[in-house]
Chains A and B, each alone.
Chain A
Amino acid sequence: KQEVTQIPAALSVPEGENLVLNCSFTDSAIYNLQWFRQDPGKGLTSLLLIQSSQREQTSGRLNASLDKSSGRSTLYIAASQPGDSATYLCAVFNTNAGKSTFGDGTTLTVKP
């Protein structure tokens, strides 16, 4: 059974800092991994999708890496802003259009 762990559970940083969120998974036979952000009471917004054959993806100030062999992904956020405050979730998909397993998320607070 796939298990996904996100560390830390919560993170508070001053504006402008670069930060790293971690996601680890137990079964390396994944199809892809997706990072989302969720604002309180809202739906999930897709940030980055990494296919199992890829090592990293970038979008603006965000960079996500994937190391399947060690069962790890990181989300790097550069020059953090208060608007980045949200819960960040990683989800591992074991098949195409199939089961997904989410981590519990990292709640990020960026202070002005």
Chain B
Amino acid sequence: DTEVTQTPKHLVMGMTNKKSLKCEQHMGHRAMYWYKQKAKKPPELMFVYSYEKLSINESVPSRFSPECPNSSLLNLHLHALQPEDSALYLCASSSPGRGRNNEQFFGPGTRLTVL
């Protein structure tokens, strides 16, 4: 199973709402990532978790709050977002280590619209 799943597929929220994006993988990967992708642009790295610990935070505003409850799950909590935060949010995972194991696998993404 080389699948990364993300829910929901689409999300529309107001600027005062609180919502969460979820990501799950069962490949035994110990690194998980959140990316943000605007239309016709490449993905931008937001956060990296390695062995359930936050290892990289790319100066993301605090209205985005990541959480890694266990090695298979990754959440992104959203609060007080702005319309410019509307984008495709992608989750990825990889297995830190040599050889093919550190190949990144991406989920299908959550299309977020902030009104």
Smallest distance from the beta carbon of B92 to chain A beta carbons, Å? 8
Smallest distance from the beta carbon of B72 to chain A beta carbons, Å? 16
CB of A71 closer than 8 Å to a CB of B: no
Q: Which of B11-19, B77-85, B93-101 contacts A (4 or more CB under 8 A)?
A: B93-101
A-B residue pairs in contact (CB < 8 Å), sample of 20:
A32-B102, A34-B103, A36-B106, A43-B6, A43-B109, A44-B92, A46-B105, A49-B102, A51-B98, A93-B102, A96-B97, A96-B102, A97-B55, A97-B94, A97-B102, A98-B56, A99-B58, A102-B44, A104-B42, A105-B42
Interface of chain A residues 25 through 81 with chain B (CB within 8 A): 31-32, 34, 36, 41-46, 49, 51
A-B contacts at CB below 8 angstroms, number: 63
Which A residues have a C-beta under 8 Å from some C-beta of B? Answer: 31-32, 34, 36, 41-46, 49, 51, 89, 91, 93, 96-100, 102-105
Q: Which residues of the other chain, B, contact A31 by a CB distance below 8 angstroms?
A: 102
Is the CB–CB distance between B56 and A43 below 8 Å? no
Q: Please measure, in the bound complex, the distance between the C-alpha atom of A104 and the C-alpha atom of B7, giving whole angstroms.
A: 26
Hey, what's the 0/1 contact readout for B14-56 against A, CB within 8 Å counting as 1? 0000000000000000110000000001111100101000011
* Total interface residues in chain B, CB < 8 Å: 32
Partner pick for B55 among A98, A102, A104, CB 8 A cutoff: A98
Is the CB–CB distance between A97 and B99 below 8 Å? no
Using A96-B96, A100-B45 as known contacts, say yes or no to A42 and B108 having CB atoms under 8 A apart.
Answer: yes
Partner pick for A43 among B50, B55, B97, B107, CB 8 A cutoff: B107
